[in-house]
């Protein structure tokens, strides 16, 4: 009889294990289904987002395109600043009295070169000739040629 009770207990125990295994299996299946649903939802959102990106990028030609032959904003700024500087000069700039701001209106003169011109003038006295500018580091004959009509003493 004791043996029979042991066999019944073992059988019940194995039935419990089977039930637990089945519950775990169903739980895993349910979890997998929820995961699949979440993934499908995410995938749908991503595809919609990709479509929006494709629609917006098809109208804009700014990704990895060949450079155009037209003026870019950087070159147009340079050319417009050159044009503006030569247009703004209605009269000649006096090298002996001009401030750094006035000197910067010349083509090819930035803040440092303008300051170098003023420093040269302060150390050596007034300019006797426009060609005296050639004594300043960074200023050459091309600069004088470009600005010849705007330079005065």
Find the CATH number of the domain harbouring 138.
1.10.150.280
pTM of this prediction?
Answer: 0.43
| Residue at 145 is within a domain | yes
The predicted structure's pLDDT at residue 68: 57
Number of domains in the chain: 2
Percentage helix, strand, coil for the chain under 3-state DSSP, each rounded to 5: 70, 5, 25
Which neighbouring-strand residues pair with 94? 152
Q: Which domain holds residue 130?
A: 92-152
The predicted structure's pLDDT at residue 64: 54
Q: Provide long-range contacts, Cβ within 8 A and 24+ apart, for 81-89.
A: 82/107, 86/150, 89/150
Ranges of residues in the chain whose predicted pLDDT is under 70: 56-90
The predicted structure's pLDDT at residue 65: 53
Distances (CA, A) of 1 to 5, 7, 14, 49: 6, 10, 20, 71
| Residue at 143 is within a domain | yes
| Residue at 78 is within a domain | no
Determine what percent of the chain is predicted with pLDDT higher than 70.
77
| Residue at 125 is within a domain | yes
| Residue at 111 is within a domain | yes
């Amino acid at each position: 009889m004791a043996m029979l009770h042991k066999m019944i207990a073992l059988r019940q125990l194995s039935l419990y294990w089977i039930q637990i295994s089945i519950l775990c299996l169903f739980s895993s299946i349910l979890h997998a289904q929820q995961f699949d649903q979440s993934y499908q939802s995410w995938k749908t959102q991503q595809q919609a987002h990709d479509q929006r990106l494709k629609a917006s990028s098809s109208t804009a030609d700014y990704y990895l395109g060949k450079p155009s032959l037209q003026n870019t904003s950087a070159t147009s700024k340079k050319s417009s600043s050159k044009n503006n500087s030569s247009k703004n000069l209605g009269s000649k700039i006096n090298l002996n009295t001009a401030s750094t701001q006035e000197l910067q209106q010349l083509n090819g003169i930035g803040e440092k070169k303008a300051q170098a011109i003023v420093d040269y003038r302060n150390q050596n006295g007034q300019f006797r000739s426009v060609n005296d500018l050639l004594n300043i580091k960074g200023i050459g004959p091309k600069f004088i040629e470009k600005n010849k009509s705007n330079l005065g003493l």
